[in-house]
Amino acid sequence: MARTLVLAAAQLGPIQKAEGRDVAVGRMVRLMEKAHRRGAEVVVFPELALTTFFPRWYEEEPERADRWFETALPSAATAPLFEAARRYGIGFHLGYAELAHEPDAAGRMRKRRFNTAVYVHPSGEIVLKYRKVHLPGHAEYDPRRGVQHLEKRYFEVGDLGFPVVRAPLGGTEANIGLMICNDRRWPEAWRVLGLQQVELVMLGYNTPSLNMENRGFEAHHLRVFHSHLSVQAGCYQNACFAAAVAKAGTEDGHELFGHSIIVNPQGEIMAQATSWEDELIVAECDLSMCDLGRRTIFDFARHRRPEAYGRITAQVGSEAPPAWRPRPAG
């Protein structure tokens, strides 16, 4: 039986450093209205959607970056998103910088900062929260880089794992999972969601068009190829849909490549953004498509061999293999 969901990916064009949350939120509400007119039931916004991609800016005192963080959701600034959800009967996914006051693993109450995403039900209730696990970049100012990428300075590694929840989604129910930007490049993240029978992965990203590591060469077009390759492989190998949604265009002189996509469980792109502006792409997703892969080639219960995967959790970095040499002649 078909379980149809009309899914919208709301790519955002650039948000400049000088622009306030009101500018971003106003644009997002307009995209929600447009999504409603096009029959969408869920809208997915990008990573850190409320502000410019601030980890490119170095602050000697990391606390000075707190102005980019949200201490509550909804807040006065983000309330219009929640109101629009109720008005249009649309659920939405939002990526934002989260500043929480809560105990750490040692039980010490302190300020904690995460790169976070939530899925919000049309009622305004938060259904699922995820904190980014794979933080790219570096913690200290790097003079070799043209542009900084300070996620490791401003955020802690997410402490919620990769949760999946079954919840109402449009006119049906679905198993929903979240990941954020760099996570999409890690098959482990997809598989942990796949092991919980995820049917829809919502993920936002901010990916620069150039590899800022400044070492070696990476052709421009390969940046987009690698992003799509990761999402398409993740969907195919875990029999799920995904909305991978970008912040795009030039923020204060720094280009983000866009190319947001909606992908089906066959790994096919169903819709793709073509601009580097605010742009809505919509696809009708039959969630029952997830069953085929799950019952056949990726029936995990029948075919997975965890006894052979020990290194995946036992080891972090790679290790050199033993060397083989031909026997000396004679």
Binding-site ranges for ligand CDV (CB under 6 A): 47, 136-137, 149, 181-182, 185, 205-207
**235 catalytic residue (yes or no):** no
Smallest separation (angstroms) from ligand CDV to the CB of 182 = 3
Smallest separation (angstroms) from ligand CDV to the CB of 206 = 5
Q: How far is CA 174 from CA 76, 125, 178, 286, 301, in A?
A: 30, 17, 13, 11, 21
Q: Which is nearer to ligand CDV, 276 or 298 (CB)?
A: 276
Q: Output b/e per residue, 132-148; b: 16+ Cβ within 10 A.
A: bbbbebbeeebeeeebb
Q: Which is nearer to ligand CDV, 47 or 251 (CB)?
A: 47
Q: Which is nearer to ligand CDV, 129 or 185 (CB)?
A: 185
Taking alpha carbons only, the member of 96, 103, 102 closest to residue 117 is 96
Smallest separation (angstroms) from ligand CDV to the CB of 320 = 26
Q: Which is nearer to ligand CDV, 136 or 187 (CB)?
A: 136
C-beta atoms surrounding 248 within 10 Å: 27
Tokens at residue 191, please? Answer: 């598989």
Smallest separation (angstroms) from ligand CDV to the CB of 136 = 4
What is the amino acid identity at position 100? A
Q: Which is nearer to ligand CDV, 205 or 241 (CB)?
A: 205
Taking alpha carbons only, the member of 203, 271, 276 closest to residue 6 is 271
Smallest separation (angstroms) from ligand CDV to the CB of 169 = 26
Taking alpha carbons only, the member of 106, 92, 78, 100 closest to residue 42 is 92
Confirm if 26 and 49 have CB atoms less than 8 A apart. Answer: no
| HEC sequence for 285-308 | EEHHHHHHHHHCCCCHHHHCCHHH
Catalytic residue chosen out of the listed positions 34, 129, 151, 181: 181
Q: Is 216 left (phi over 0), alpha (psi -120 to 50) or beta?
A: left
Q: Output b/e per residue, 162-189; b: 16+ Cβ within 10 A.
A: bebeeeebbebebbbbbbbbbbbbeeeb
Q: Which is nearer to ligand CDV, 127 or 229 (CB)?
A: 229
Smallest separation (angstroms) from ligand CDV to the CB of 226 = 9
Distance of alpha carbon 148 from alpha carbon 178, whole angstroms: 26
Which residues are known to be catalytic? Answer: 47, 132, 181
